[in-house]
Structure 1
Amino acid sequence: MKETILSLCPIYWEDYELIDTGGFEKLERFGPYILSRPEPQAIWDKSLSEEEWRKLSHAHFAKEKNNPEKGQWKELSKIPHNWQVKYKNQDGLKMKLNLAMTSFKHIGLFPEQAVNWDYISDTLKAFPVKNPKVLNLFAYTGAASVAARACGADVTHLDSVKQVVTWSKHNMEASGLEGIRWIVDDAMKFIRREVRRGNTYHGIILDPPAYGRGPDGEKWILEEQINEMLKLCAQLLDPNQHFLILNMYSLSFSSMIAANLIQSNFGDVANAEHGELYLKDKYGKKLPLGIFYRFRKV
């Protein structure tokens, strides 16, 4: 199986900027607002001083002592709870995405994923199939779903949390689109049913968390269940025209693990690419933000 190993960084962002990283934090601009948030992989020193960070930041996320993923936003200057950013690439993909400060440090957007939105757009535009079927699992606030729908795909968007599915609907509507199929369900249960039904998809997007819960308390543990999930996805993927994108954010995973999982469950695939996603701050430091594996047959 021929593979291309890449490190990918978005290049088309205007409404997003990684300003500085270090001291286990990152300083980012989303539209007109600058936020400082925890970042466990930024183990180096900051380029700017603490005073400069405070002056620049509109809000800072303070972690809880016993839960590094949960905490509270502290506003340092006036900032709305909700606002929007725009994304546009050179191929004409346009999206408007809604942001909000949540108690889990996230704001509804993972900017490094823009490289996969571009990949979705580029792939779907080359498809000979009209209205190709795309399944987005663990879809969160749905930027990838919106990107696929903007290119004419028949999109099924699945997440286990009703509130983020509602958030995704707002992103679709803000982007001037309609027609995405929304599902609140456990991802594993859903794709098992789809296999039994004999359904297939031209594109599958997976961005599973390290740990998670389904709507009825179903437990998800990445290293224990991702292999079975990919076995099922191999049965769901159209054999003639297809693409698959796998993202994994786990500090213990390398892209070689993703490569082994794909080879084990899909065999030889066409146009395979894998590696790291990252963002570069203004001072040249590269912040790794997960691994990916993707392939396509058009």
Structure 2
Amino acid sequence: MKTRITFITAALAAAFAAAPAGAAESSAAQFLRLGFGARALGMGEAFTAVADDASALHYNPAGLAWSGIPEPKIAMFSHAWHIQDMGVSQAALMARPWAFGVTYFSAGQMEGRDDLGAATGDFTARDLALTVGRGFDYGELSLGAAVKYVGQKIGGVSAHAAAADLGALYKPEGSRVKYGAALTNFGTKIKFRSDAFPLPLTFRAGASAELSGAPLLLAAQADFPNDDGPSLRLGAEYRAAENFRLRAGYKTSSSEDRDAILGTELGGGAGGVSSLFGFFAGIGLNLGEFSMDYALAPYGELGSAHRVSLAMKF
């Protein structure tokens, strides 16, 4: 068992070391960075070292096997209303240590133009990701991996790619602090006709802590994307009552945020973003076997993104 753990940990470390490669190259399929679940969004997506529900499939697959998750089976549905009539629907089914997830992103109907600016008719843009993951529990250490299919369709042009996620969680015995790291979207390039683009590879590392004197969960995380500079995420979840949670988060601003909302492949811009850009807020309500979460992400003059998640434990 010790040899197996050492081998898996070494493989994970080697993959992490590859994360900065190609840092200056633009990436496609930015919808893969939109996150999963209203709880995580309300905490600023500082979730790599939390990863204690079905959204672990997206943030850190090591959480799928973590013994701190009380419910072995969780079904979750999440929908987000983004700016400019864009939306994303997501579903995940976790039967610990396995999970399966679907993400569908729609940019709505847009007006097409040729190189000279002449109208070419309306078109739609849709993205799809199918993911399956598994976690491995080794006591204080958990490891996880996920594989995914990525598909994009812009007008009449389709593109496909395959990717993998790797993750690790470590919580020393008797400690309230948990450490996490994940490498996401490591895979093939996605090709539109003659142009091929890398996927939005990101390495994340952080820590979370449950305070002993207050019903408060704190999290901090650093993100290192392949096509942008590093950023910092901070998140908090306060248990105001037995069945009610208040959440807040913050993420340092970078062009990655605007790409993930508007989509670089759609030619979106982000001018006029106010000082509220990067702040997040959310609430959560637990009703026995059911839970509902809501999150808000303001984007200044661009509007706001709203996300609602429903989950059932069984």
TM-score (norm 2): 0.30
Point out the structure with the larger strand share: 2
TM-score by length of 1: 0.31
